[in-house]
Amino acid sequence: MSTESHEVHHEAGDHQSMTRGRIVKVALILSAITAVEFIIALYLVPKGILPIHFANPVYIVLTLFKAFYIVAYFMHLKFEKLGLALAIIVPILFIIGLILVLTNESHHWIDLRG
């Protein structure tokens, strides 16, 4: 049974989705995003073109883009069944919950720490 379904999985042709051309394209996107982060950190912020409190959200958005490309293409999640993608992505909501709770909490701690 397991070998059978496994063959079906292979014959479905979904592996053709990661061709060499696409691999190179995703690699270039990841490198380009990293290069942009370095330009911001080494040039735009020190020269005062971009204030640090604007740069930080930009870093986080760029990081999420990189995470999307790694998970969707390198880890192949974009080409898996929707059910699997949801089973992996929906629990991440708990992490967002913890971020919201602890960020809020830390704003209270800063008053305590003085």
Partner 1 sequence: MSTTVSQIDEVKTTPWSGGRSPFNVEYGKIMMWFFLLSDAFTFSSLLISYGSLRFSASVWPAADKVFQSVPGLLDSGAPLVFVGIMTFILIVSSVTMVLAVEAGHRNAKKEVVGWMVATIVFGFMFLGCQALEWAHLHHEGFWWGSTPALDELGKFFNEGGTEAARHMTAQEFANLFFTITGFHGFHVFTGVIINIIITVNVLLGTYEKRGSYLMIEKVGLYWHFVDLVWVFVFTFFYLV
Measured CA to CA, the distance from residue 65 to residue 83 in angstroms comes to 22
Measured CA to CA, the distance from residue 76 to residue 69 in angstroms comes to 9
With binding defined as CB under 8 A, does residue 56 bind partner 1?
A: yes
Least Å from the CB of residue 25 to partner 1: 11
What does the radius of gyration of the chain's CA atoms come to, in whole angstroms?
A: 20
The smaller minimum CB distance to partner 1, of residues 34 and 49, is found at 34
**What residues contact 37, with CB distance under 8 A and at least 6 apart?**
59, 62
Name residues contacting partner 1, limited to 3-42 (CB under 8 A): 5-6, 8-10, 12, 15-16, 18-20, 23, 27, 30-31, 34, 37-38, 40-42
With binding defined as CB under 8 A, does residue 110 bind partner 1?
A: yes
With binding defined as CB under 8 A, does residue 93 bind partner 1?
A: no
22 touches 73 (CB < 8 A)? yes
Pick from 11, 48, 92, 93: which binds partner 1 (CB under 8 A)?
Answer: 92
